[in-house]
Amino acid sequence: MQHRSCRCLPSPAAPVPATTSTSETTTPHDDRAAQAAVEVAAPAPSRQRHTPLEDVQGLVLASLVSALGMSILATGGLLVGGVAGVSLLVHYATGWNFGLLFVLINLPFYWIAVRRMGWEFTLKTFLAVGVTGVVADMIPHWAPFASMTPLFSAVFGGALVGMGILSFIRHRASLGGVGIVVVYLQQSRGWSAGKLQMGFDAVLMLAALAVVPPSKVLYSALGVCVLNLVLLFNHRPGRYMGV
């Protein structure tokens, strides 16, 4: 019997599994390390208290700016918002001293400030109101304005008073009166300071028609809008709150 020799073909090679590069593999540890690196590179902002010197310079500057703005508005025969506007309205109607009226009308609001905002806020506001009232009365003697158009008075006066109020709020103070209530509601409920102030000022402009010519009231309303726009765009809840 004759045997045939057979040649066995080699079996096909088993497929080699694809290897994954270590650079494409991530682990929870790597994610945590990457997150830590991001936090180190860009740390979250922290709130820092103003130093006493920063508060002093901020309040003095705010008082000067606010007083200049009120003097510009008064030179044009215009009004401003808040208790300052009420004081100007009584000043136009009676001829009484604006600075004295500004301080006296603010007195009842200090009780609210002490109970709701604390002594620090109240004392800062009391000093701010006093300095602003005195300086506003003295500016016409120190730097009398020869002439001023109502449009200039409304735009520049309103903007300056708005910047002053903004600085007061950032240093935990205000120009008193409605500003005390506005800051309290801003901090406690997150309501917009600009919108609250604008609502009160709209009522004040309507009442002014009984004393001030309608054209002056319209320019005053423009100045009030400029003032409140400064607050609305620069003091949104949660964006910046001086402490």
Nearest to 230 by CA among 139, 189, 169: 169
Torsion of CA 82, 87, 90, 96, to 10 degrees: 180
Q: 3-state SS of the chain: helix, strand, coil percent to 5?
A: 70, 0, 30
Angle between helices 52-75 and 119-142 (to 10 degrees): 40
pLDDT at 116 over 90: no
Mean pLDDT of the chain: 79
pLDDT digit string, tens, across residues 74-85: 999 999 888 999
What's the mean pLDDT in 165-176? 85
Q: Which residue has the higher pLDDT, 182 or 54?
A: 54
What's the mean pLDDT in 174-180? 80
Q: What percent of the chain has pLDDT over 70?
A: 74
Q: Report whether 210 contacts 91 (CB < 8 A).
A: no
pLDDT at position 237:
57
pLDDT at position 105:
92
Angle between helices 150-170 and 52-75 (to 10 degrees): 160
